[in-house]
Amino acid sequence: MQTINNIEQEIIEEFEIYDDWMDKYEFLISYGKELAPMDEKLKTDDRLIKGCQSKVWVDANYDGEVMHFSADADAIVTKGIIGLLVRVLDKQKPEDIAKAELKFIDEIGLKEHLSPTRSNGLLSMVKQMKMSAIQALS
């Protein structure tokens, strides 16, 4: 199993290939396109991330060992962002998720290149995924 830090490093290296932020946005959008489809029955209000401009749903399950996340969004950039977070946090131990710094977000320049509302949405997504992990531990 890959660690959160290893996956973050892979993402940082993938984004370093691109110099221009328009290319990075295209790459980010590709993450959304690769995101496994979320069951429509899971797109409920209790799975909706509060604080996002667009609609983002995250479903979290704990199998006793690791967390499993599925997600979807109704905007392509936002779907790419949640796709990145799922890639990093899916199939990780809840205690590792709870303490993860997710430094890749700053290192790829994501927060600084998002609008303030998208940046707030990103923070809300991270917070919700970490809360799911913390709840799994209790």
Which residue of the set 7, 28, 38, 52 is catalytic? 52
Give the bridge partners for 70, in sequence order.
59
Q: How far is CA 74 from CA 48, 57, 71, 114, 123, in A?
A: 11, 9, 11, 17, 17
Separation between Cα atoms, residue 24 and residue 27, nearest integer Å: 5
Give how far the C-alpha of residue 79 lies from the chain's centroid of Cα atoms, to the nearest Å: 9
Identify whether the C-beta of residue 98 lies closer than 8 Å to the C-beta of residue 105.
Answer: no
Q: Which of 56, 58, 76, 75 is nearest to 67 (CA)?
A: 58
36 carries an active-site annotation: no
Q: Can you tell me whether residue 91 is helix, strand or coil?
A: coil
Six token digits for residue 107? 């290192």
Q: List the catalytic residues.
A: 52
